[in-house]
């Protein structure tokens, strides 16, 4: 059955829930940790912890600040036996997280959305610790990626560029079993290009790696659900459409879906599993 990866944004500026899970002065517990536990109770098999927004236009965050945001949550989750993914493009942050994981480092997932701009040190860090790595298709950073959407055949070119990124990991000594691929919905893609990739998820599954699908609450869904005056549906009101795409991703054979709202997507995945019991 397709797994659920619950999103925990420990950022002030993420497009959907920025600031919602930041610690409060004098508070006895960390809101982010409480939210992670709720997502796990609702069916999230993996918690994806991020300290830097990757939305278009977001300002970059230094690794030290990123680590300051995520480490207070990472350690308790690991101690509680939760499977954790760390959403980072910084090798220094990946290394710090893996060192924190200790003898569980090989279970940790590093979710790197930097794509063709992957830092040269990141494959080396993954090889050194034996961690799992999500390689995401992307052509730029948060400031430039939406200017890099020129494709002749978006599906073929995204597949080819993912294979280029994959080669850097294989050449560094990372095994194919450690690699998870993500087509990068919303990263250096127009709305129409996102839909074309979603229609062809089976071609990504055919690469032979686990496939992570992440479309939760993204802008192309806001455009799809726009009202009669072309006002985009707010991010927090896109969960039903997200669940529909989670159902589709599961039917296409994706390994996991990355979502903000766990409960509705858990229902969608259960329905997909009922229709495809052998999947």
Q: Is 258 an annotated catalytic residue?
A: yes
Residue 177 φ/ψ, nearest 5 degrees: -70, -20
User: 139, 166, 217, 258: which one is catalytic?
Assistant: 258
C-alpha span between 231 and 203 (Å, rounded) = 33
Cα–Cα nearest to 248, from 233, 261, 265, 225: 265
Q: Is 218 an annotated catalytic residue?
A: yes
User: 89, 166, 217, 218: which one is catalytic?
Assistant: 218
- Provide the 8-state DSSP code for 102: G
C-alpha span between 179 and 209 (Å, rounded) = 6
Catalytic residues: 218, 258
């Amino acid at each position: 059955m397709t797994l659920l990866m619950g999103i925990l944004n420990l950022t002030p500026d993420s497009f959907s829930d920025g600031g919602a899970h930041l610690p409060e002065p004098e508070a006895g517990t960390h809101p982010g940790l409480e939210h992670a536990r709720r997502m796990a109770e609702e069916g999230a098999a993996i918690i994806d912890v991020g300290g830097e927004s990757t939305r278009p236009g977001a300002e970059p965050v230094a690794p030290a600040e990123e680590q300051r945001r995520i480490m207070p949550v990472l350690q308790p989750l690991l101690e509680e036996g939760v499977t954790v993914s760390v959403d980072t493009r910084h090798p220094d942050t990946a290394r710090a997280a893996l060192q924190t994981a200790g003898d569980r480092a090989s279970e940790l997932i590093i979710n790197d959305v930097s794509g063709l701009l992957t830092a040269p040190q990141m494959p080396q860090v993954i090889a050194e610790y034996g961690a799992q790595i999500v390689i995401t298709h992307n052509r730029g950073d948060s400031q430039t990626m939406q200017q890099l959407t020129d494709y002749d055949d978006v599906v073929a070119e995204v597949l080819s560029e993912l294979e280029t990124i994959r080669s850097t990991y294989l050449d560094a000594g990372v095994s194919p079993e450690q690699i998870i691929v993500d087509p990068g919905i919303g990263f250096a893609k127009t709305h129409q290009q996102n839909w074309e990739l979603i229609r062809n998820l089976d071609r990504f599954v055919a690469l032979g790696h686990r496939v992570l699908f992440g479309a939760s609450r993204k802008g192309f869904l806001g455009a799809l659900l726009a009202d009669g005056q072309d006002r985009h549906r707010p991010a927090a009101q896109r969960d039903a459409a997200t669940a529909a795409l989670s159902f589709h991703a599961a039917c296409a054979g994706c390994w996991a879906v990355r979502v903000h709202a766990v409960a509705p997507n858990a229902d969608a995945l259960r329905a997909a599993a009922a229709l495809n019991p052998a999947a």
